């Protein structure tokens, strides 16, 4: 086993439970670092929506992932958490969380189970590929190297986001050199670049924009966003990130549309904006009449280019349909997850890499992506289970 994130740990659990001698290698000094980071704001382990709608979240990879997700659906993941003493609950958004909210209690119980099942955990063990005899090469923390003979190998090395937590995508070159088809790694669930004015950027970076409805390519998502020095990020933006990213790759830019008052109709806005302003400044009037925040009001100024529209109709139109030009994605190391990786066609029905007999792969290093909301972790677990069972079948067990 190579990779100490959720997919690697889950595959190690299944393989060791089946009686295999499992050694898990990870380049970081401790395991599950990205898993712990994901749990800082509340570990969203999966989602409660019906399976058919759940599967749609995986877009082009739906067909490939459907069997593994049907075999290990959200309820199975919740039951697994319960088996580790971590009861889960469904939040108001349909997302599923452990009652402790944090990832650390779950990870501690999980690692204890792996040790009880005899899994050898080798941290600070950086995978370097294969030697001339086909053995796995590793570099230890002290700089020394070792080669390890393995009857079978399961790779679960993650994507290329959050490299300081361990997943830097360095495995792509090692596999490509062995003839494995690799789709370029790209940011997913990411922020986007916007050409803010210096005044707006300096004053409002780090401030939330809510309530909000963001629209692109016929899809609208309600939620919130965050202004950053480089542009815009946040839940509503992440949900549209795949189509926005693809449009930028194709056209060099994408025009996102924002509704800054999603709870009010256009006629209602016109009626409210037609009230006498009296001695109030325009900003004060908008704040008191529509409860718009300073960041929202100044975003309107950014979009208008010069002065804000004076007529109620024009202002209502801008508030409900504010154009925002995105010129690029934020760097991949700032993304929550990544797209690209091992091409799905490079795997056989056992999740073994066709070009590398005896080598299996799972998790985010495969070419699929999904929005936040529990879908990333669920597919990581389900794919790890599928790859582990494929390895057992290949091994004659």
Task: Note whether 230 and 135 are same-domain residues.
Answer: no
With CA atoms as reference, report the closest residue to 360 among 150, 80, 78. Answer: 150
Instruction: Give domain status of residue 116, yes or no.
Output: yes
Q: Tokens at residue 316, please? A: 């209502």
pLDDT on residue 397: 78
Mean pLDDT across the chain: 95
From 285, 308, 329, the end of a domain falls on 329
Which pLDDT belongs to residue 63?
97
Domain endpoint, select from 278, 295, 329: 329
**Same domain for 142 and 233:** no
Q: Residue 348: its pLDDT value, please? A: 98
What are the tens digits of pLDDT across the range 253-292? Answer: 999 999 999 989 999 999 999 999 888 899 999 999 999 9
Report yes or no on 52 lying in a domain.
Answer: yes
Q: Of 68-77, 277-286, 291-300, 332-341, which range is least confident?
A: 277-286
Listing DSSP states for 92-125 in one string gives TTSEEEETT-SSHHHHHHHHHHHHHTT-EEE-SE
* Inside any domain, residue 1: no
39 and 127 in a single domain? The answer is yes
First to last CA, the chain: 17
**289 and 204 in a common domain:** yes
On whether both 13 and 55 belong to a single domain, the answer is yes
CATH of the domain at 128: 3.50.50.60
Taking the C-alpha atoms of residue 336 and residue 345, their distance in angstroms, rounded to an integer, is 25
Q: How far is CA 36 from the centre of its chain?
A: 14
Eight-class DSSP state of 269: H
Q: Which of 36-50, 63-77, 130-144, 347-361 has the lowest mean pLDDT?
A: 36-50
**Do 280 and 319 fall into the same domain?**
yes
With respect to residue 56, please indicate whether it lies within any of the assigned structural domains.
Answer: yes
Q: Examine residue 274 and state whether it is found in any structural domain, yes or no.
A: yes
The number of folded domains in the chain is 2
Residue 300 and residue 386 share a domain: no
Q: What angle do CA 263, 275, 280 make, to 5 degrees?
A: 100
Last residue of a domain, one of 294, 329, 364: 329
User: Closest by alpha carbon to 11, among 98, 119, 144?
Assistant: 119
Q: What is the mean pLDDT of residues 323-331?
A: 96
Mean pLDDT for 48-70 is 96
Shared domain check, 146 and 12: yes
Residue 137 and residue 128 in contact, taking contact as beta carbons nearer than 8 Å: yes
What pLDDT shows up at residue 278? Answer: 84
Residue 78's pLDDT is 98
Q: Running DSSP on this structure, what letter comes out for residue 183?
A: E
pLDDT in tens, 189-230: 999 999 999 999 999 999 999 999 999 999 999 999 999 999
Choose among 178, 163, 147: nearest CA to 27: 163
pLDDT (0 to 100) of residue 245: 97
Write out pLDDT tens, residues 376-389. 999 999 999 999 99
The pLDDT assigned to 16 comes to 98
Q: Which residue has the higher pLDDT, 145 or 278?
A: 145
What region does 372 belong to: left with phi over 0, alpha with psi -120 to 50, or beta? Answer: beta
Contacts of 50 (CB under 8 A, 6+ apart): none
Span 142-163, average pLDDT: 95
Same domain, 254 and 348: no
User: Are 94 and 21 found together in one domain?
Assistant: yes
- Tokens 């936040």 belong to residue: 372
Tell me the pLDDT band of 27, cut-offs 50, 70 and 90. Answer: very high
The pLDDT value recorded for residue 320 is: 95
| In the block, residue with structure tokens 């986007």 | 192
Whether residues 271 and 210 fall in one domain: yes
251 lies in a domain?
Answer: yes
- Assigned domain for 377 exists: yes
Cβ atoms 335, 188 nearer than 8 A: yes
Structure tokens at 163: 């490299």
The tokens of 16 are what? 């060791």
Q: Which residue has the tokens 């959200």?
A: 74
Taking the C-alpha atoms of residue 128 and residue 121, their distance in angstroms, rounded to an integer, is 18
Residues 284 and 153 in one domain: no
124 occurs within a structural domain: yes
For residue 173, the model assigns a pLDDT of: 96
- Give the pLDDT confidence score for residue 270 in this predicted structure: 95
pLDDT higher than threshold 90 for residue 50? yes
297 vs 304: CA distance, rounded Å: 11
Domain that holds residue 229: 192-329
């Amino acid at each position: 086993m190579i990779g100490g994130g959720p997919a690697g740990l889950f595959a190690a659990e299944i393989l060791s439970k089946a009686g295999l001698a499992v050694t898990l290698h990870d380049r970081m000094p401790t395991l599950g670092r990205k898993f712990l980071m994901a749990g800082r704001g509340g570990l969203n382990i999966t989602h409660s929506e019906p399976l058919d709608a759940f599967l749609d979240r995986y877009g082009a990879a739906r067909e490939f992932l459907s069997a593994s997700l049907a075999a290990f659906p959200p309820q199975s993941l919740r039951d697994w958490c319960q088996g580790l003493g971590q009861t889960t609950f469904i939040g108001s958004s349909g997302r599923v969380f452990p009652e402790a909210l944090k990832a650390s209690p779950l990870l501690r119980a999980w690692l204890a189970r792996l040790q009880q099942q005899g899994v050898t955990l080798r941290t600070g063990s950086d995978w370097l590929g294969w030697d001339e005899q086909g053995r796995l090469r590793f570099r230890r923390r002290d700089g020394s190297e070792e080669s390890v003979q393995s009857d079978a190998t399961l790779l679960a090395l993650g994507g290329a986001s959050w490299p300081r937590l361990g997943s830097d995508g360095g495995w792509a070159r090692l596999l490509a050199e062995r003839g494995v088809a690799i789709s370029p790694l790209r940011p997913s669930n990411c922020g986007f670049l916007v050409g803010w004015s210096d005044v707006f950027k300096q004053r409002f970076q780090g401030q939330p924009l809510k309530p909000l409805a963001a629209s692109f390519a016929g899809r609208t998502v309600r939620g919130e966003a965050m202004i950053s020095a480089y542009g815009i990020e946040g839940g509503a933006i992440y949900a549209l990130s795949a189509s926005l990213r693809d449009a930028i790759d194709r056209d060099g830019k994408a025009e996102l549309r924002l509704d800054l008052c999603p709870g009010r109709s256009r006629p209602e806005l016109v009626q409210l904006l037609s009230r006498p302003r009296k001695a109030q400044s325009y900003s004060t009037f908008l704040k008191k009449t529509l409860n718009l925040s300073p960041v929202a009001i100044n975003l309107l100024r950014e979009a208008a280019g010069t002065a804000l529209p004076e007529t109620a109709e024009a202002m209502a139109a801008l508030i409900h349909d504010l154009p925002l030009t995105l010129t690029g994605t934020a760097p991949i190391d700032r993304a929550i997850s990544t797209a690209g990786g091992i091409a799905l066609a490079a795997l056989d029905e056992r999740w073994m890499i066709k070009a590398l007999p005896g080598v299996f792969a799972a998790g985010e290093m495969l070419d699929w992506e999904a929005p936040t909301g529990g879908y990333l972790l669920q597919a990581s677990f389900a794919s790890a289970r599928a790859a582990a069972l494929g390895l057992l079948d290949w091994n004659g067990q």
